[in-house]
Amino acid sequence: MTINTLIHQIKRKKSFLCVGLDTDLAKIPAVLLDKEDPIFEFNKAIIDATHRFAVAYKPNIAFYEAHGIKGWESLKKTIAYLNRTYPEVFTIADAKRGDIGNTSTMYAKAFFEDLDFDSVTVAPYMGKDSVEPFLAFEDKVTILLALTSNPGAFDFQMQQSKEGDILYQKVIKESLQWNNSENLMYVVGATKAEFLGEIRKLIPNNFLLVPGVGAQGGSLEEVCKYGLNDAVGLLVNSSRGIIYASKEQDFADAAAQQAEALQKQMESILIQEKLV
Ligand SMILES: O=C(O)c1cc(=O)[nH]c(=O)n1[C@@H]1O[C@H](COP(=O)(O)O)[C@@H](O)[C@H]1O
């Protein structure tokens, strides 16, 4: 899916919600555990219940890899279901990959060709040659970690060099020089909303993937205040806050209610900002 199609979907659904599929067997309803593939059954029910309110889905690959071949099969079935049933949604493989060039090419093939995700999250710290193999897929989107939501973001990303550059800002500035940088999105944690104004000065047009509302305590209003641009420019992710709204049989309805509540907040902000 192109970024223009994503923008069209955001305006149509009046939502920039991304639902995170961080599916944990210890947290899903017990009734599903007897099924042949509980992770897929859970994901399918969540997707069917929430797709009206969301424009993107983001399976976090760790939750699948933890179960070996069976987990990878659940992931394959989930992305195939999304692509077949809801081709209008944007899909994100949250894999946080990046390695020497030939290895990155193989990661890119895994997520873009074999699994056919629209995008993948990539860690920038091995530099240009580790990211360009992802950018070489011109019809796909590479999502670079800029300023992450976790407390450890201050360990390295916020460090200032002698020349005065802050590391996450250097990552953004340098990456704009790379081939096909128009296919880049950036991760900025909702817990770091106060930095979004500065970030928007560097990248007024790129989309930002913003995780950290809900369970991590980030505020949607704060994120929108500094992060919105003329094309909306935001995908705000919530995982646990939506998918684990109930551990009972009503889990899908409960997830839909949480997704709808976020969508309604987004809709009123979009209307207020005259973006829809
Ligand atoms: O790349 C990400 O999506 C990501 C980056 C970041 O800075 N912080 C962050 O929480 N994430 C991911 O976003 C999701 C957040 O989940 P919840 O806190 O449950 O909404 C998890 O899958 C995280 O791995």
- Could you give the CA distance from residue 163 to residue 13 in angstroms, rounded to a whole number? 45
ipTM greater than cut 0.95: yes
Identify the residue whose C-alpha is closest to ligand 1 atom 11: 211
Is the Cβ atom of 6 under 6 angstroms away from ligand 1? no
Domain of residue 132, CATH code: 3.20.20.70
Can you tell me which atom of ligand 1 is nearest the CA of 237? 20
Catalytic residues: 96
pTM (two decimals):
0.98
Could you report the average pLDDT of every consecutive run of 10 residues in the chain (276 residues)? 95 98 97 97 98 98 98 98 98 98 98 98 98 97 98 96 92 96 96 97 97 94 97 98 96 98 98 97
- Residue 161 pLDDT: 87
pLDDT at res. 245: 97
* Smallest CA separation from ligand 1 atom 17, residue: 239
Q: Which domain holds residue 118?
A: 3-272
Number of domains in the chain: 1
Instruction: Return contacts of 215-221, CB within 8 angstroms, 24+ apart.
Output: 215/239, 215/240, 215/241, 216/149, 216/189, 216/190, 216/191, 217/191, 218/149, 218/189, 218/190, 218/191, 218/193, 219/190, 219/193, 220/190, 220/262, 220/265, 220/266, 220/269, 221/265, 221/269
Is the Cβ atom of 119 under 6 angstroms away from ligand 1?
A: no
**Which atom belonging to ligand 1 lies closest to the Cα atom of 121?**
1
Tell me how far CA of residue 219 lies from CA of 114, 136, 146, 151, 272, in angstroms.
Answer: 36, 35, 19, 16, 17
